[in-house]
Amino acid sequence: MPRVVVSPILASVAIGVAAITLAGCSGGSPSSDASTSASSEAPRTVRVVTHDSFALSDAVVAAFEETSGIDVEFIPAGDAGEMVNRAVLSAGNPEADVLFGIDTTLLSRAIDADVFDPYVSSADTLRPELREAGLGVVTPVDDGDVCINIDDGWFAEQGIAPPTSLEDLADPRYRGLLVVQNPATSSPGLAFLLSTIERYGDAWPDYWTRLADNDVAVVNGWSEAYLSEFTAGGGGGDRPLVVSYSTSPPAEIVYAEEPKPERPSTSVMTDGCYRQVEFAGVLRGAEDPAAARAVVDWLLSPEVQADIPLSMFVFPARAGVALPDVFEEFVVRPESPAEIPAAEIAERRDDWIDEWTQIVLR
Amino acid sequence: MTRTGAGRALAAGVPLAIVTAFVIVPVLAVVITGFGSEAIATLAAAGTWRLVAYTAGQALVSTALSIALALPAAYALYRLDLPGRRVMLAVITVPFVLPTVVVGLAFRELLPFAGTTAAIIVAHVFFNVGLVVRVVGSLWGHLDPRLGDVALTLGLSPLRAFVRVTLPLLRTAILGAGALVFLFTFTSFGVVLVLGDPALPTIEVEIYTATVQRLDLSAAAGLALLQFAIVAVVVVLTTRWQEAAAVRQRLADDERRARPRGALDRVAVAWTAALVIAVVIPLLALVARSLRVGEGWGLAWYREAVAPSEASTRTTAALESISLSLQYAAAATAFAVVLGALACAGIVMARRRGAWLDAGLALPLGVSAVTIGFGLLLVSLRGPVDMRDWWILVPLGQAVVALPIVVRVVLPLLRSLDPRMRQVAATLGAPPLRAWWTTEGAITLRAFGVAAGLAAAVALGEFGATAFLVRLDTPTVPVQIVRLLGRPGEANTGVAAALAVMLLVITVFIVGIAERLRPRRTGGW
């Protein structure tokens, strides 16, 4: 077997370059950390771990930092499930001080793992139905509804009345029109499954058998469903019904180019919606629990709560916060959205998903 | 000889230590945390073996197709004088930097069979064919053309001459490229999630649902261990085959490209043109998407990308993201090239044991990104120092991903060098440095130039490790694109497409420059 002898020159050149590069790199940081610069009285920093969909206006964050003397650093940690699992694995020795964005489907898992230092910020300012939702451990910050979205233009063109109930979705008139997400990989997909379980109880497998017979399409994530399979998502899809959020229609207006359309081309079916409440909590083991609690309080402040609808397209948990016009005009809140207790979800979710997989994906 | 010993230890030790820190330690952390009787039960389940068979099957088909489609193009682009050669090379490298979500959504629009295994395979070929062209081409370009000519003179048909003479000379590069593609496609995540059949997950998707959705660390540990074992076996086997296939030969120190002549050359050129067009179509769809505004066309999404109309923790001006991406990519490229040089030196110096070093360095490509992400977190939480604020981890992580590619571009050339040439040069009175440069140095540097271009592309597009390590207010371009695609509304998808097009243009530019920077002694210009 022929072998090659590397030239010693090559090796020493490589080592020399390595030394130079490493030396050069230790000089500065490309992320130009201004925060590490020493100042006479270092401001307290609170790290808030969030899911990737988190957003707030810069001005709102800056105003808080100015008045409170607390620097807030937001750390994205993937989707909600990934974020919560990271918190569970680091319970007691957290990678941040505050966690924002855990929802009802994951709350029990975190509470069981003793992730939080119980803290509920001013419950009396919350909308009444949310006051107990945090189970005395975390604070509700916003909520939203996962609902079937309808491409009104498509139905008008076809001269068919859009569906109005879960039962309609299994009707042969609406055969091959619905796309849903896999509950094993998608949070709205799981929410829609939960809404059918709440409605049909132990007979939910039968409902899904009928949906499968009615040619429901399944994709793994929200983006594939909405942006590419939905007829109104801009990706040339052929399904006019999709599982999404009740606030997707106003988002279509807010994120349209000028001149903005007068009304959205999509609407929401108010039957079969599932309500997801998002919470913020102080992580057990936070470096500065007082400052962490101040940040949770701030998340419930009128300023943040008023910013939430257009930043994240969810509803403020605080009572009496005025909604932006597009919300007032184009979002219908379902009257009795489904909700399943966190503990029951924690206990049965894996079995439900397994059974759903057997029925729908076979 | 102690100096050589120390050099050998350093050359082998530094890259190994970094790869170990980034890969082995996190995987061990997950396995130690989750491994137990339940993990063994996961391994024994019948479903697990169907999962393995499906995952390996789609990866094998993807790899075979990528190689088959790439070989004629590698010939045409590296052996023939073609107009627009550098542009074509740059274009087929572009898929490498695009986030899989972007490509996945583009393919969902283009392919009538989205949501099937065929769609996964098409996307895998799209992503990897350029890699095969470049890895194989970088050796092919330096083959001594006289060998083929002799075969022709001896009466072999061009096809037989290729099979009997050229193919054996190229085998080491083909095996190296094939191993890379197999590892990429065996553990590919985004493509399978976006384009695959939800009823047919792969091992990586199952690891994702086990860790991220179910928090079932014992299942994750079992699957991660299984994946790691398969990957290790594949890496060791292909490394051995690759080594056994290495033929010591006299390589031309510049690439020899001839005018196309004969029917086979014309077929190869047409093939290459078809391949480039096939790669360009999804890219054009992306460009079209970025220009489609409402019912008409325009640059609105580019303006919005450059200067976001709302200031929020979610919006980052494109120039800022791009500048950050470029800084990380520059550092990552430097790391990858240096580590690659050390690794190649180490592999070659370690002789027989070099195969193990080589194998170890390729592991990052075949290890679940999800496992590494969670493992790094576990290490970081239980280890003595919290490293999450260290910016250097981002380019180092990217370099670890690019490292095996650098090694595979450079090593076949190094292995093929005939040391007697340098001895002859020295005998003829050349000073050692000059003897090295004229016989080996120029080729070696050129190979590193190609490798650096690819490493930069990998670093620019890298998502998994980067997403885990960057902060919310300082996303790289791919991270920002993926965030935008998580929301409804024309502006979000439009700006995401505009950013993807900017990333694409930057890549063509960088890869094009890397091509140009190669020494100009090549015949023809």
Tell me whether residue A5 is in a domain.
Answer: no
Count CB neighbours of A24 within 10 A: 11
Per-residue pLDDT at A201: 94
Highest mean pLDDT among A212-226, B31-45, B464-478, B496-510: A212-226
Q: Is residue A70 part of a domain?
A: yes
- Residue A15 covered by a domain: no
Using the predicted structure, report yes or no on whether residue B326 has a pLDDT greater than 50: yes
Nearest to B491 among A18, A85, A257 (CB): A257
Q: What is the pLDDT of residues B72-94, one digit of tens each?
A: 999 999 999 888 888 898 888 88
The pLDDT score that the predictor gives to residue B53 is 95
Residues A72 and A126 placed together within one structural domain of the fold: yes
Spell out which residues of chain B touch residue A33, defining contact as CB-CB under 8 Å. 391
A203 and A344 co-located in one domain: yes
Tokens at residue A317, please?
């948990």
DSSP designation for A97: S
What is d(CA B114, CA B386) in angstroms, rounded to the nearest whole number? 42
Interchain pair B491, A255: CB under 8 A: yes
C-beta atoms of A55 and B324 within 8 A:
no
In a domain, B525, yes or no: no
- B276 in a structural domain: yes
CB B455 within 8 A of CB B406: yes
Q: Of B14, B193, B324, which has the smallest distance from its Cβ to A221's Cβ?
A: B193
Nearest to B179 by CA among B62, B51, B327: B62
Q: A174 and A155: one domain?
A: yes
- Number of Cβ within 10 Å of residue A3's Cβ equals 14
Q: Which of residues 43-62 of A touch B (CB under 8 A)?
A: 50, 52-59, 61
What percent of chain B lies above the pLDDT cut of 70?
90
Nearest residue of chain B to residue A353 (CA atoms)? B214
A88: closest chain B residue by CA: B215
Considering the domain architecture, whether residues A216 and A102 belong to the same structural domain is answered as no
pLDDT, tens only, B403-447: 888 887 788 777 777 777 777 777 877 777 777 777 777 777 878
Residue B519 clears pLDDT 70, i.e. is over it: no
- Give the total number of structural domains in chain A: 2
Q: Does residue A214 sit in the same domain as residue A115?
A: no
Which residues of A, range 158-187, sit inside 8 Å of B by Cβ? 182, 184-185
Separation of first and last alpha carbons in chain B = 45
Among B365, B321, B344, smallest CA distance to B458 is for B365
Please check whether residue B203 lies inside any domain of the structure.
yes
Whether A80 and A193 share a structural domain: no
Nearest to A2 among B208, B248, B414 (CB): B248
Contact yes or no for B294 and A10 at CB 8 A: no
- Domain holding A200: CATH number? 3.40.190.10
Contact of B397 with B466, CB cutoff 8 Å: yes
What is the mean predicted confidence (pLDDT) over B451-460? 86
Which residues of chain A fall below pLDDT 70? 1-42
What pLDDT, on the 0 to 100 scale, is given for residue A213?
Answer: 96
Same domain, A193 and A226: yes
A185 belongs to a structural domain? yes
Distance in angstroms (rounded) separating the CA atoms of residues B125 and B130: 9
pLDDT at residue B386 in the model: 61
* Minimal-distance CA residue of chain A relative to B339: A18
In this model, does residue B179 exceed pLDDT 50? Answer: yes
Question: Residue A71, exposed/middle/buried by CB under 10 A (0-12, 13-18, 19+)?
Answer: middle
| φ/ψ (deg, to 5) at A216 | -70, 140
pLDDT at position B360:
78
pLDDT digits (tens, 9 = 90+) for A180-234: 999 988 889 999 999 999 999 999 999 999 999 999 999 998 988 998 899 998 8
The burial class, CB within 10 Å (0-12 / 13-18 / 19+), for A333 is middle
Neighboring chain A residues of B312 at a CB cutoff of 8 Å: 55-58, 311
Judgement on whether residues A246 and A183 belong to the same structural domain of the protein = yes
Q: Do B489 and A54 touch (CB under 8 A)?
A: no
Average pLDDT of span B468-494: 76
pLDDT score, position B35: 77
Overall domain count for chain B: 1
Spatial CB neighbours of A251, under 8 Å, sequence gap ≥ 6? A245, A313, B487, B488, B489
| Residue A38 pLDDT | 37
- B345–A2: do the CB atoms touch at under 8 Å? no
Question: Is A220–B488 a contact, with Cβ atoms under 8 angstroms apart?
Answer: no
Query: Which residues of chain A neighbour B328 with C-beta distances below 8 Å?
Result: 30
Mean pLDDT lowest among B251-255, B334-338, B347-351: B251-255
Q: Give A278-296 pLDDT, tens digit per residue.
A: 999 999 999 999 999 999 9
Residue B522 forms part of a structural domain = no
CA of A8, closest CA in chain B: separation in Å?
Answer: 8
* Residue-range definition of the domain harbouring residue A179: 145-275+339-361
Beta-carbon contacts of B17 under 8 Å, excluding residues fewer than 6 positions away, are none
Helix boundaries (H) for B213-317: 217-245, 262-291, 300-306
pLDDT at residue A238, as a whole number: 92
* A220: chain B residues, CB-CB within 8 Å: 193-194, 196, 198
pLDDT tens per residue across span B258-292: 888 888 889 999 999 999 999 999 989 889 989 98
* Exposed / middle / buried, residue A125 (Cβ in 10 Å: 0-12, 13-18, 19+): middle
Residues A111 and A197 in one domain: no
Report the C-alpha gap between A292 and A287 in whole angstroms.
8
Of the candidates B213, B381, B419, the beta carbon closest to that of A93 is on B381
Question: Within a domain: residue A320?
Answer: yes
Residue A11 forms part of a structural domain = no
A255 with B489: Cβ contact below 8 A: yes
Identify the pLDDT of residue A217: 95
Q: Do residues A160 and A212 share a domain?
A: yes
Question: Is A307 inside a domain boundary?
Answer: yes
- Whether B352 shows a pLDDT value over 80: the answer reads no
How far away is chain A from the Cα of B181, in angstroms, using its nearest Cα?
24
Which chain B residues are closer than 8 Å to A313 by Cβ?
487
| Domain residue limits at B20 | 7-377+386-517
Question: Which pLDDT belongs to residue A10?
Answer: 38
How many CB pairs (< 8 A) connect A and B? 224
Chain A residue whose CA is closest to B387: A95
Q: Are A46 and A305 in contact (CB under 8 A)?
A: no
Residue B265 maps to a domain: yes
What's the pLDDT score for residue B136? 92
Q: Do the Cβ atoms of A89 and B294 come within 8 Å? A: no
- Same domain (yes/no): A59, A113: yes
Q: What's the average model confidence in pLDDT over B231-247?
A: 83
**Assigned domain for A178 exists:** yes
Write the DSSP assignment of B319-370 as a string of letters.
HHHHHHHHHHHHHHHHHHHHHHHHHHHHHHHTGGGHHHHHHHHHHHHHS-HH
Under an 8 A CB cutoff, do B490 and A234 touch? yes
How confident is the model at residue A41, as a pLDDT?
53
The answer to whether A85 contacts B211, with C-beta atoms less than 8 Å apart, is yes
Burial A149-174 (b: 16+ CB within 10 A, else e): bbbbebbeeeeeebbeebebbbeeeb
Say whether residue A224 is in contact with chain B using an 8 A CB cutoff: yes
CB contact under 8 A, A11 and B345: yes
Q: Is residue B1 part of a domain?
A: no
B112-139: average pLDDT: 92
Give pLDDT tens digits for B380-389. 666 666 665 6
Query: Which residue, A79, A109, A275, A83, is CA-closest to A191?
Result: A275
Question: Do A139 and A149 fall within a single domain?
Answer: no
Looking up residue B112, the CATH number of its domain turns out to be 1.10.3720.10
The pLDDT score that the predictor gives to residue B467 is 63
Residue B56 CB neighbour total at 10 angstroms: 17
**A 271-290 residues with CB < 8 A to B:** none
Identify the residue among A10, A115, A345 best suited for mutation to test binding to B, counting B beta carbons within 10 A and taking the highest: A10
